[in-house]
Amino acid sequence: MIRRTFQAAMSLGRHRVLPGAPYVLPKLNPTSAFGSSTDSLVSRLCQRKTDKKDYALPNASWCPDMLNLYQEFLEKTKTEGWIKLPSFKSNRDHIQGLKLPFGLAVASDKSDSRIFTRCIQEEGQGYEYVIFFHPSEKKSICLFQPGPYLEGPPGFAHGGSLATMMDETFSKTAYLAGEGLLTLSLNIRFKNLIPVGSLAVLNVDVEKIEDQKLYISCITQSRDKQIVYAKCSGVFLQLQLEEESPQ
């Protein structure tokens, strides 16, 4: 069985992209190059009628910094246009009825899979995080508290755990901002170690959308911005999800 590669998917996808000049992201245009409005993408990802548990909610393991900043952004969801994204145990729960396009999808056992950032179920031991997204500004903020199962150097988060948090935040942001679906590249510069149990704040911005690619960047800092933990830039491939064929 020949599986379709990214490259094949890209060339197939090119036939479906609207012709025209490179698409520089205007702040007030809610429609992505592919025609799906931001509203409909947000609706789809947020699954408002689902009964699935939302893990992006405060619990006893959250440090004071994280609780405070969470409350601040919760206020902003009422007054300044921010949206709190839910976070389900599996990515499948975020895209019910849809699948990867162009033959990339595989039949696989759905029963016991988890999205990597929710792989550890015990409160406070692994990833504690919540993402807020701003639809018209095309930016997001992720509050991230790494637990003791995420260690690299003793007492500090593993570099890979932050790389993963960046990739996941990019992933959700790129999808909502312009149907960015698959990570093409990540370029991470680490500046400082994040102590286990402390809050790291990821500020993410979509830079531009061009040639079926979405360019995105992130700076990760302490809450007071006095310590920069890392900077990252990423590129995502724009692809539309397909409807699953009826079972």
| Footprint of its own copies (CB under 8 A) | 3, 5-7, 90-92, 95, 99-100, 104-110, 112-117, 119-120, 125-126, 148-161, 163-168, 171, 181-193, 195-196, 227
Place of tokens 């948090």: 165
Question: Cα dist. 34→9, 27, 68, 233 in Å?
Answer: 15, 17, 38, 23
- Closer by beta carbon to its own copies, 26 or else 160: 160
Count the neighbouring beta carbons within 10 Å of the beta carbon of residue 164.
Answer: 17
- Closer by beta carbon to its own copies, 1 or else 28: 1
- Closer by beta carbon to its own copies, 7 or else 79: 7
CB of residue 153 to its own copies, shortest distance in Å: 6
Amino acid at site 11:
S
CB of residue 176 to its own copies, shortest distance in Å: 16
Distance (Å, whole) CA 164 – CA 10:
24
Known catalytic residue: 65? no
Instruction: Pull the structure tokens for residue 125.
Output: 């031991």
CB of residue 61 to its own copies, shortest distance in Å: 12
CB of residue 183 to its own copies, shortest distance in Å: 4
- Closer by beta carbon to its own copies, 48 or else 189: 189
Instruction: Pull the structure tokens for residue 54.
Output: 């939302």
Catalytic one of 65, 167, 205, 211: 167
In the 8-state DSSP scheme, what is residue 178? Answer: H
- Give Cα 108 distance to the centre of its chain: 23
Instruction: Please name the residues in contact with 232: beta carbons below 8 A apart, sequence gap of 6 or more.
Output: 163, 166, 170, 186, 187, 188, 189, 217, 218, 219, 220
Distance (Å, whole) CA 33 – CA 39:
14
Distance (Å, whole) CA 35 – CA 179:
10
CB of residue 136 to its own copies, shortest distance in Å: 27
- Whether 181 contacts 131, CB under 8 Å: no
Distance (Å, whole) CA 110 – CA 37:
29
- Closer by beta carbon to its own copies, 82 or else 229: 229
Q: Which residues are catalytic?
A: 167
